[in-house]
A = this chain, B = another copy of it.
């Protein structure tokens, strides 16, 4: 996470956040990321049928490959709001673009919060001049704060490195907390970089890295209507353009992967009510999709999740979830280990020290490894437990 000693800024990017009164208590609810020059853009969105209005608008806008600003409101998702929701998002987008003096199509809009409520356009419009005025090189933390909903800590990751003989920065911010399931977590994540990256290469690299980071986490198995991941690359580092199949691209990819991994792990750790960070590795599968299906069956089992919350070494629930995944398995070949200790293999409990298992699951971070013994494909993901706090947070979200 962001350390105060590290200066959180990216050459050519300004950011800011203010309160427009959408959320109660004067919390920041409008955030802005602005590149001083038009930037290359790549993005990924939720696969939910009921995509929020801003998602529908951004999906079209990113096709141009160029964007300069990301405007975010929290406190209202502007989802399931129909044509009026689109009109509301366009009104806000037009007002923000006008104030920034950029073409409207170069501005992306994102919303997060409650589904099914109209966007408070007047409040937002009234806040825009202050928001634009708040822009500064050091405003990334404010922009992050403005997109938080039930998040309990800020999620910012930054890497600096030499790419093509030039200093390059990659910085990402995210919000998470609930409705966290791939495609993607309820999740807004924005990456800012000053690297110059070829359009195709940027798309490919962003897709690949999101797939193994934000598309491999689950908190509650619920896919949101608003999930959005955006990268802006403004090219101000002055490097020669990074292209596909280039070794130089690899260094950039690593930095991006580091940033996204750190953010995705932070989202799981800050999952609503989470007290455990659980990594699930499924190996020996016939296909990656089989491995993924088994991993998600375990990750989304409420019985597995509550057992981990209770530090209850009830490993049989993991086996039940594997068996319920619908993946065709030879059960004699399946083995299960928790924290490097095998607890089940050859269709029977392994010999292990129960006290040691209890000790392992008392830790905050736990690895579950499931070997299917049927192939060489694998899948790794992370998830959290299911606690009283999750129920508490989510049983009174809108009221």
Cα separation A320 to B47 with both chains bound (whole Å): 11
Known pairs A114-B314, A320-B225; A386 contacts B397 (CB<8 A)? no
Contact of A79 with B302 in the complex, beta carbons under 8 Å: no
Contact of B394 with A302 in the complex, beta carbons under 8 Å: yes
Stretch at the interface among A206-214, A215-223, A284-292: A215-223
Residues A309-363 near B (CB distance < 8 A): 309-310, 312-317, 319-325, 328-329, 331, 343-344, 346-349
Which residues does chain B contribute within 8 Å of A306, judged by CB atoms?
390-391, 394-395
Interface size class of A (residues with CB under 8 A): 35 or more
Which residues does chain B contribute within 8 Å of A347, judged by CB atoms?
50, 80, 82-83
Cα separation A367 to B314 with both chains bound (whole Å): 35
Report A95-135 CB contacts with B as 1/0, cut-off 8 Å. 00000000000000000001111000000000000000000
- For A77, A79, A309, A319, the residue with the greatest tally of chain B CB atoms inside 10 Å of its CB is A319
Q: A398: which of B80, B314, B331 is its contact (CB, 8 Å)?
A: B314
Contact of A323 with B48 in the complex, beta carbons under 8 Å: yes
Residues A18-73 near B (CB distance < 8 A): 47-51
Cα separation A34 to B319 with both chains bound (whole Å): 33
Contact of B115 with A310 in the complex, beta carbons under 8 Å: no
Contact of A220 with B348 in the complex, beta carbons under 8 Å: no
Which residues does chain B contribute within 8 Å of A343, judged by CB atoms?
116
Contact of B391 with A320 in the complex, beta carbons under 8 Å: no
Which residues does chain B contribute within 8 Å of A50, judged by CB atoms?
319-320, 322-323, 331, 347
Cα separation A51 to B117 with both chains bound (whole Å): 46
Contact of A399 with B310 in the complex, beta carbons under 8 Å: yes
Contact of B310 with A83 in the complex, beta carbons under 8 Å: no
Known pairs A79-B320, A319-B116, A388-B392; A398 contacts B348 (CB<8 A)? no
Cα separation A90 to B145 with both chains bound (whole Å): 62
Which residues does chain B contribute within 8 Å of A79, judged by CB atoms?
316, 319-320
Contact of B316 with A114 in the complex, beta carbons under 8 Å: yes
Contact of B395 with A310 in the complex, beta carbons under 8 Å: yes
Is A176 interfacial (CB 8 A cutoff)? no
Contact of A179 with B303 in the complex, beta carbons under 8 Å: yes
Is A178 interfacial (CB 8 A cutoff)? yes
Contact of A307 with B82 in the complex, beta carbons under 8 Å: no
Is A6 interfacial (CB 8 A cutoff)? no
- List 25 A–B pairs whose Cβ atoms lie within 8 Å, in order of A's numbering: A48-B320, A48-B324, A49-B322, A49-B325, A49-B331, A50-B322, A79-B319, A80-B316, A80-B320, A82-B347, A82-B348, A114-B316, A115-B319, A116-B349, A220-B303, A221-B300, A222-B302, A222-B317, A222-B320, A225-B320, A306-B390, A310-B399, A313-B398, A314-B397, A387-B395
